């Protein structure tokens, strides 16, 4: 199964999902599936969130809090759940407000090892 098919599977599995992406922590997109951006430039926003992930990782390491496995960001128009796949890659799913973030977290958690095996 391709990266895109796995990302589409995550989006189909969560009502309110608008996009799912596999990215490098450097912000370079490997693959992205966008269902409905809701008028937002979701791809660019998800690239910017890679900087937030880097900052969270650096802060956790600096304070010896351990590694960051997951990160959630909520705004008025969009929620994003980030899950590390490897130290160099992460998955992120973008959701409309009110979407089932628990199901999104679950699908990222079970899909991440599959993507890791394919990287």
Q: List pLDDT tens digits, range 56-87.
A: 999 999 999 998 999 999 999 999 999 999 99
In the block, which residue shows the tokens 């998800």? 46
Instruction: Determine the angle formed by the axes of helices 101-118 and 3-13, rounding to 10 degrees.
Output: 170
Task: Say what percent of the chain tops pLDDT 90.
Answer: 76
Alpha helices of 1-119 — where are they, by DSSP H? 3-13, 42-62, 101-118
Spatial CA neighbour of 49 closest among 16, 26, 30: 26
Helix, strand or coil for residue 102?
helix
Q: Is residue 80 within 8 Å of 73, Cβ to Cβ?
A: yes
104 has a pLDDT exceeding 70? yes
Angstrom distances, CA of residue 100 to CA of 1, 48, 93: 25, 23, 11
In the block, which residue shows the tokens 């490997």? 30
Helix, strand or coil for residue 76?
coil
């Amino acid at each position: 199964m391709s990266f895109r098919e796995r990302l589409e599977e995550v989006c189909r599995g969560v009502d309110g999902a608008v996009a799912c992406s596999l990215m490098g922590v450097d912000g370079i997109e490997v693959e992205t599936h966008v269902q409905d951006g809701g008028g937002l430039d979701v791809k660019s926003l998800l690239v910017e969130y890679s900087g937030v992930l880097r900052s969270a990782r650096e802060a956790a390491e600096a304070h010896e809090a351990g590694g960051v496995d997951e990160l959630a960001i909520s705004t008025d128009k969009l929620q994003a759940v980030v899950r590390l796949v490897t130290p160099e890659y992460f998955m992120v799913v973008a959701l409309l407000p009110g979407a089932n973030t628990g199901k999104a977290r679950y699908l990222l958690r079970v899909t991440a090892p599959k993507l890791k095996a394919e990287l």
